[in-house]
Structure 1
Amino acid sequence: MATALGNIRGIARPTIVGQALYATESVADEIGNRYQTNLVVVNETDTTTLVNDATDLQGTTQAIFYQHDGQIYRRTSDGETLQLTHQSDHITSFAPTPDGAGVVFAVQVETQASFNAVSERPTVRYYTKRHYKDDGVGFIDEQRRFEIYQATASGVTRLLGTFSLPVKVADATDTQALVIVQTNDEDAHEYRSELRTIDFEAQTQVIVPTNLAQVYEATIAPDATQILILGNDDQYPNRRAVSLHYYDGHQTRLVFDDEELLAEPNSDVIVQGQGRHVRWLDSEMYIFETGYHGHTRLYHGTVAGEITRLLDEPQLLTDFAITDRRLVIAQQDTSHPSRLITVDLDTYAQTVRYDANPTLSFTAADKFTFASEDGSNVDGWFLPAHSEEPAPVVLYVHGGPHGAYGEAFFWEFQRFAEAGYNVVFTNPHGSTTYGQAFINAVVNHYGEQDYRDVLAGLDRAIERYADKIDATRQIIIGGSYGGFMTTWAIGHTDRFQAAVSQRPVTEWLHLTGASDIGYNFVFDEMGATPYTEPGRAELIKRSPITYAGSVKTPLLMMHGEYDLRTPIAQTEMYFTAVKTLTDTPVEMVRFPQSWHGVSRNGLPNLRDARLTVMFEWLATITKVSG
């Protein structure tokens, strides 16, 4: 029986205040056709909802803080709740002060209506910059500004600073805010950012000397002087691995870059975004998380420079909290959508504290490795079909290309298995969690070793799981970069019985000017632009549409109509090319009100419709009833 999206709950943002464990719990509301995230207290076997539609949960030793109905609230351990903000503008980030007396928050002030707003008398939009749109957001208001405020429980709200470019509140002491400020013009080739402190009383700003091109996250030690920073330098635009840095109040030094930070395997479970990837235990010790070979690791560090690995399990850690020599980790793996795990920091013993989906049962994926053409090992996973007979196999290619599959839960893959399809997913060269050299291997070489990797992984799976796979029925599916790889593959081989391309890149020249990131992404990844004759020749050679006349594989193409990352014209052009040049069956399905991330966070009814469309279309070719 198919597992409905609305039956899967995601637990996240574990936060401990006193003896109480709080979290956010998310679910797809299929009736309201939206996602709902609630603030809950975690009991022994279940949760109690405290506030509906509450997000961005954070805590101090005295209280928890969260957003609800566009405002920030504080709730103490005795249940006393206070609204701290009364903003008409959108609050984009905040951090509580350690004393629990207030928060520092950022707002975005806009003068124009949103992308899909309908008006009886709409006004025109003016743009002067290349970066004039963002997928998932819409068109950028060039007159927008960003403001930082301090709000206290006594009812005082003070403006601390105004910025013309995006700013994020990273952390706060009782006297200063720590903020990440985008420093370059939005029209620049690459974004850059820096770390600054803002004094509450003097309202003066001081730049923290990080020597980093980009800062993503920062957290202050309890002594209010030391800072741990996640960031990177300006090597390898668009693909530089993030490392951990330490600031002692005077200068910054590199702490850890052996593995990638802010890199983790993909999942399609709806959970609140991670609060922090590094947390202080005290002013001498801290815990941080890395991505490693398709799963996440946890490390213990000291300001003296000692690094000790704590956890190295086949799982995805989606957040963690620290208290009294124990960790509470929000976790998932290929067969468990979302759980809270308790880890004793003295014995490292792990205990399941709470399972958000105790009545649901899923099949675990089996990990395997295979050799790439350069002799290096590549990871793959196999999820078996719910079938007693050999079943078709789906080769699913991830997006990015600098992303990763791995030891994480994928509802979509489980639905394919329930429908009678084996699923093979791999991390070809270019994927994250394997280090900088592995990431770089695909750059300027799309459709080469990466293409041969995914086919080699499929071949290895067919050999290894021969009793489960019907090798005469092979299917390739992918989205974004995976859509590129799908359309590239069927232009270069006819081994597949069917193909499903989702939000693909099929024509690099168009993408350069039409995508919200195209003008820098294409040059960084392909080493060419369409504005020179040699560049045009190279991009044409690397575009799947160039080989559309060779396509013999029946093809289903799916795309969101709001997509600004790979605009829907990428599908329209390829669909038209295959229709014009061949008699190969090809069908296009369009998803209204859908951005690039329709498969992960799109409207619940359309996420379900995606799978129905694929299963019904595949059934006509593979004869699997689903």
Structure 2
Amino acid sequence: MNNNEQPTKRRGITVEDLLRLRSVRDPHYAPDGTRAVFVEKSIDEEKQYRSHLWIWAADGSVRQWTFGRWRDMKPRFSPRGEMIAFLSDRSGRTQLWLLPANGGEARQLTFFKNGVRDYVWSPDGTFLIALTTLGDEETIEDREEQKTAEQKPADSKPRVVERLYYKSDASGFLDGKQDVLVRIDAASGKTEALTGREEEIGSFAVSPTGQTLAFVANRNDDPDTTFTRDIVLFDLESKAETNLTNGCGTFASLAWSPDGTKLAAIGHDLAYLGATLHRLYVFEPERGTKRVLTADWDVHLGDAMVGDTHADAKGPGPIWASDGSGLYVTASERGRVNLYFVPLDGPIVPMIEGNFHLYGLAIHPSEQQAIAAMSEPTVIGDLYIISLEDGTKTRLTRANEALENEVVFADAEPFTYRSADGWEIQGWIMKPPGLGEGEKAPLVVEIHGGPHAMYGFTFFHEFQLLVSRGYAVLFTNPRGSHGYGQAFVNAVRGDYGGMDYEDIMAGVDAAISKFDFIDETRLGVTGGSYGGFMTNWIVGHTDRFKAAVTQRSISNWLSFSGVSDIGYFFTKWEVGCDIWEDAERLWHHSPLKYVQNMRTPLLILHSERDYRCPIEQAEQLFIALKQLGRETKLVRFPDANHDLSRTGNPALRLERLRQIVGWFDHYLKGPLD
């Protein structure tokens, strides 16, 4: 820039900028470490999600590898590096495809009627194991139905239900479908079903010898009410099975040691039911031993971060060191997701540590470096090469460079405060850029879902949008959140609307006291799922807020217990009883009980296919408020589920954001009383 040029003034981010966000994720090294493949997810001009494969080479070059109007996902080099397997919906269903690593046409490997959910390579690269689902009368020979211009309407038949667990927010009505693991020959595509129909197969992995398949499944006699998930060992030659865990816990993220003598898993013993911290287990099947390597580490393993940009990016499970001396794991702690090394013997060592969200990882075969997908409050997310020896970080991608150079982002300043009973709570404040000296901004309080999840150091489009429109944004991790140990995450159970409410309100008071730019006369509050429950609870217990937006919320535990896909067990796990045991207790914790106290203008946003918090929860609250003559509006989102704000239809996501900012603009920026 010469002396006569003026720097371009950056603008605030907009609702429509959601369409420009790109999420780079899921890196995977080639066996020789000279290349890596990763995925870039975006939204196209038709407001449809697309994802494509990209290749990075050790010379620093980065180039797009696949193209088209579809979604290519989960790329993995074959053990010898000559092929890349990946999942793609280019045929209609998500199927398994193979692509020559040096270039060429992709070849469809599977044609299963219900597609492929996941897969792994065999150690020698001659076959793959894929996970599919089958209905009552379906077989693995049944092929996917090709899309046609005109689809025939479904037959009008009644749906007969005989099980407690018959629908899923992610999958809709299950209709008797069960999981099957299938062996696929890489050259011919020949298939062989390895398992019968199983309940909820999770992680699976083939041993280094290629002889044993380990997989996680629900092997309980009553799978709807028993929540352990066992590790099953399956001999690929003899077809013999061994249950390795026999109901001692719930497990996922399997990984064989390099010598094949040990099997690592992430899991827990359900001691605190859904609030139990995830631990690192190591089994030695031949010796019959089990160790919990992180038993004394009061930290939750894995990624508990809440966000709206990388929510569906699946981070890595445990990764073995090449010498079998320990494992690399990610962990959620104090609003950060970082990388650690857990040795079989010795202290846990931080490997990639800082105020950021590590949401994807690949370890180089030499273990001297890693590729990490990382996000920060002012960095949307990119891949970095990080030295595991000295921490040196080199940015590998700049997927959002144009947008980041065009808009101004507000950083999230962390702070801590004390709740009413003395517990320390972590929070963050975001100040509107350009706010002048002495000027004040209205405050929007954001409350995360879960409640066993975590806000923290990650990019959040919704937060940046509110800040760009002149709002300060406060977000906190009240008790019940991950990141602060077992006692903290368990403390909300049986106390919804109790000290968790006090934690949030103490955060509002602390922020107003600490940050003089907050206008305490113009307060708004919003949240989704548990955050929606808490928004409903707040406006039923205080008139401090001038506007509220409740999203995919719970208003009535009495009905929630019978209509949610998880309600029949989640209600007892979290509130403490079943409806026939103590209906008064469920009503006491229901925001609807306090509807006569609700005088804050309340916008209610809900998806019509939300089976996690069904829309009747919104309808009950809306009708009661209207009967009472309160200021409220219900916005229903068709063909959307509980994940609307994170992975829902982009056009509906845009409208959701417009509704939120429109409501707050009307009630927090208009004339004061």
Separation (CA, whole Å) in 2 of partners of 1:210 and 1:450: 36
Cα distance, 1:169 vs structure 2: 4.5
Unaligned runs of 5+ in 2: 1-11, 139-144, 146-150
State whether structure 2 residue 175 is matched by structure 1 residue 161: no
Letter in 1 for 2:343: T
TM-score after normalising by structure 1: 0.94
The 1:120/1:218 distance shift into structure 2, 3 A limit, reads closer
Change (3 A) 1:76 1:596: same
CA distance, structure 2, for counterparts of residue 386 and residue 111 of structure 1 = 58
How many Å apart are 1:61 and its aligned residue? 4.2
1:92 to 117, 136, 148: 117
Q: Judge conservation of contact 1:91–1:105 (CA < 8 Å) in 2.
A: yes
For residues 21-170 of structure 1, what are the structure 2 equivalents within 5 Å?
A: 21-29=36-44, 31-42=45-56, 44=60, 46-52=62-68, 53-63=71-81, 64-69=84-89, 70-79=94-103, 81-110=106-135, 119=153, 121-142=155-176, 144-155=177-188, 156-170=190-204
Q: Determine whether 1:343 maps to 2:386.
A: yes
SS of corresponding position for 1:403: coil
> Over residues 446-479 of structure 1, what are the superposed CA-to-partner deviations in whole Å (9 max), with x where a residue is unaligned?
111100111111111122221x222210001111
Question: What amino acid is the match of 2:74?
Answer: D
Contact 2:41 2:49 in 1 (8 A): yes
Is 1:390 matched with 2:436?
A: no
Q: Assess if the C-alpha contact under 8 Å between 1:13 and 1:272 holds in 2.
A: no
Q: TM-score w.r.t. structure 2 length?
A: 0.88
1:562 maps to: 609
CA contact (8 A) 2:352 2:388 kept: no
User: Structure 1 residues 51 and 359, CA, compared in 2 at 3 Å: closer, same or farther?
Assistant: closer
Provide the residue aligned with 2:262 in structure 1: 226
Taking a change above 3 Å as real, the CA distance of residues 517 and 334 of structure 1, as seen in their structure-2 partners, is: same
Question: Is the 1:212–1:231 Cα contact (8 Å) retained in structure 2?
Answer: no
- Contact 2:199 2:223 survives alignment (8 Å): no
Letter in structure 2 aligned against 1:291: S
1:111 to partner: Cα distance: 5.1
Corresponding residue for residue 281 of structure 1: 321
Residue 652 of structure 2 is matched in structure 1 by: 606
Higher strand share: 1
1:290 — aligned with what? 331
Residue 211 of structure 2 corresponds to residue 175 of structure 1: yes
Task: Report if aligned partners of 1:129, 1:186 keep a CA contact under 8 Å in 2.
Answer: no
Find the counterpart in structure 1 of residue 539 from structure 2: 490
Report if aligned partners of 2:524, 2:668 keep a CA contact under 8 Å in 1.
no
On the 8 A contact 1:10/1:26 being kept in 2, the answer is yes
1:89, CA displacement in angstroms? 2.9
Alpha-carbon distance in structure 2 between the residues aligned to 1:87 and 1:563: 27
Name the SS of the counterpart of 2:23 in structure 1. strand
Deviations 1:129-173 (A, max 9, x none): 11111112111212x232211112231322211124121342113
Q: What pairs with 1:482-561 in structure 2 (closer than 5 Å)?
A: 482-532=531-581, 535-561=582-608
Inter-CA distance 594–211: structure 2 relative to 1 (3 Å threshold): closer
What aligned pairs does 1:281-430 form with structure 2 within 5 A after superposition?
281-282=321-322, 283-323=324-364, 324=366, 325-361=368-404, 362-388=409-435, 389-430=439-480
Say which is worse superposed, 261-270 or 410-419, in terms of deviation: 261-270
Residue deviations 1:275-319, cap 9 Å, x none?
Answer: 522111212332111110111121113333442122221111112
Structure 1 Cα separation of the partners of residues 652 and 332 of structure 2: 31
CA distance in 2, matches of 1:611, 1:118: 35
Report the CA distance shift for 1:247/1:492 in structure 2 as closer, same or farther (over 3 A). same
Does the 8 Å contact 2:119/2:128 carry over to 1?
yes
Q: Which amino acid aligns with 1:119?
A: P
* 1:619 aligned counterpart, secondary structure: helix
Question: What SS does the aligned partner of 1:90 have?
Answer: coil
Identity of aligned residues (%): 29
Letter in 2 for 1:75: L
| CA shift for structure 1 position 118 | 7.4
> Per the alignment, do residues 82 and 303 of structure 1 end up closer, same or farther by CA in structure 2, a change over 3 Å counting?
farther
TM-aligned CA deviation for residue 90 of structure 1: 2.2
- Residue number in structure 2 paired with 1:10: 23
Alpha-carbon distance between aligned partners in 2 of 1:83 and 1:188, rounded to the nearest angstrom: 35
Aligned to 1:87, the other structure's residue is in SS state coil
Residues 589-611 of structure 1, C-alpha deviation per residue, up to 9 Å, x if partnerless?
11111101111111001111011
Q: 1:119 to 1:212 in 2, by over 3 A?
A: same
* Distance in 1 of aligned mates of 2:348 and 2:249: 25
The amino acid across from 1:579 in the alignment is: K
TM-align CA RMSD: 2.2
Distance 1:360-1:302 versus aligned 2 partners, 3 A rule: same
Distance 1:277 1:487 in 2: 36
Distance of aligned partners of 1:272 and 1:475 in 2 relative to their CA distance in 1, 3 Å threshold: closer
Residues 185 and 412 (structure 1 numbering): CA distance in 2 closer, same or farther, change over 3 Å? Answer: farther
Counterparts in 2 of 1:188-267, with a 5 A limit? Answer: 188-209=224-245, 212-249=248-285, 250=287, 251-257=289-295, 258=297, 259-267=299-307
Matches of 2:335 and 2:253, distance apart in 1: 22
Q: Distance in 1 between matches of 2:445 and 2:112?
A: 48
Partner SS for 1:369: strand
CA 1:169/1:288 → structure 2, altered by over 3 Å: closer, same or farther? closer
Q: Tell me the distance in 2 between the aligned counterparts of 1:84 and 1:205.
A: 27
Are the aligned partners of 1:228 and 1:244 in contact in 2 as well (CA < 8 Å)?
yes
Could you say if the C-alpha distance between residues 189 and 210 of structure 1 is closer, same or farther in structure 2, counting changes exceeding 3 Å? closer
**1:187 Cα deviation from its structure 2 partner:** 5.4
Conservation of the 8 A alpha-carbon contact between 2:293 and 2:344: no
Q: CA deviation at 1:76?
A: 4.3
Whole-angstrom distance in 2 between the partners of 1:298 and 1:612: 37
Q: How many angstroms apart in 1 are the aligned matches of 2:227 and 2:472?
A: 41
CA contact (8 A) 1:82 1:153 kept: no
Q: How many residues align?
A: 617
* Residue aligning to 2:148: none
Opposite residue 584 of structure 1, the aligned amino acid is R
Contact 2:267 2:281 in 1 (8 A): yes
Partners in 1 of 2:51 and 2:312 — Cα distance?
Answer: 8
Match of 2:500 in 1: 450
**SS of the residue aligned with 1:163?**
coil
User: Partners in 1 of 2:543 and 2:350 — Cα distance?
Assistant: 46
1:76-125, Cα deviation, whole Å (9 max, x unpaired):
432355543332332122111122222111110125999xx972532211
Contact 1:370 1:377 (C-alpha < 8 Å) held by counterparts: yes
Matches within 5 A, 1:433-444: 433-444=483-494
**Structure 1 residues 434, 160: closer, same or farther in 2, change over 3 A?**
same
182-191 vs 435-444, greater mean Cα deviation: 182-191
CA contact (8 A) 2:203 2:252 kept: no
**Mean alpha-carbon deviation: is it higher for 80-89 or for 218-227?**
80-89
